[in-house]
Structure 1
Amino acid sequence: MAGRVETYSGERIFTLPNVLSFVRLAGVPLFLWLVLGPRADGWAVVVLAVSGLTDWFDGQLARRLGQVSTLGKLLDPLADRLYILAVLAGLLLRGIVPVWLVLLIVSREVVLGIQILVLRRHGYGPLPVHFLGKAATFCLLYAFPLLFLGHGEGGFPLAAKVAGWAFAIWGVGLYWWAGILYLAQARELLRRGTPTPPTVEGDRLRT
């Protein structure tokens, strides 16, 4: 886009995008407390919504203000993973989702975590972000709040539950499909022994 400032701020820590990322991370324990303590599901969904907004804003600000940083590249995907794990823990402990759904998502993360370690051992960085991975994360982040809102009686909770499970099923399917593609890319990369390709958008890790 014309006029967009996009410089690299290196090891700077206290930039506005990083502060927003820290705010997102602080919302993880708050979310768990709301879900497992007072069971204030409505406020928990608000925390998830605020997290989604700050996720969008920190990326936009990092590019427009020229404040892309190494720390920011680590905090952003870390916050995404922690929110997914926190929501899964809350849903499981509340008995809203079955164990098999949690295992499907967590096992995918474990498999790709091992892949990252293997790639690093051979001197490679993270793989490019794949559209399917983004679509999967989008589906799951819509599914989780809907499943919380669907935990109750009445017409609205029923509609939220149906929509939530639809997003969850599609999200898990796409999550694993993207994971398989990442594994295939890693295998081809190791087989060819070529340098690591640049990450999509320059400042995002694998989704």
Structure 2
Amino acid sequence: MKLKLISYCLLAGPLLFIASCSKKDTPAPADPCTGVSYNVTSTKTEAIGALNNGTITISEPRGDTISYKIGSGAYQPSWYFTNLAPGNYVITVKNQKGCTDTAQITILNYGPKYAAVKQIILGYCGPCHLNGAVNGGKNFDTDASIINSWDRIKARAVDSNPSQMPEIPNAPLTTVDKQKITDWVNAGHRQTD
């Protein structure tokens, strides 16, 4: 068999050996952010009187491996942002692997009179008119619903017409709180008053 192979090779003429190589790319490492998505939730306080006194607090996600930034600012470990003027803000949340997610949050401009009235409503009108509850056709979960109901708020909470709000057996509003509502109504009953 050896002789045949040699003779075959001699008959075939010179041999040409072609060597080839191929490059095997190393697969890219898996993206550590694939499937990472945060449900960024927050609370805020509106700016009052067009001042830089609004705040944003990130409720979720939190943790010692999470950092936060507002706009193009630097990342910080705190989930609390203060001294914010009325406006639109982008909050970016980043984990230790560099994965990010964002939330857009608007700080509104509340006038000082409206801010006082909103605090009264939040303090006295739940559970009957807040958190989705509708009584007497009124719910005060939004600023628009409060502003659009200014006359009814004054009639019921200040003038007790046709009956007092909050309803009996609850105590009526204090004279000071009634005056806050009256001042807001007389100023034009707007969010910016």
Calculate the TM-score normalised by the size of structure 1: 0.19
Higher strand fraction (1 or 2): 2
Higher relative contact order (CA 8 A, sep 6+): 1
Give the number of the structure whose alpha-carbon radius of gyration is greater: 2
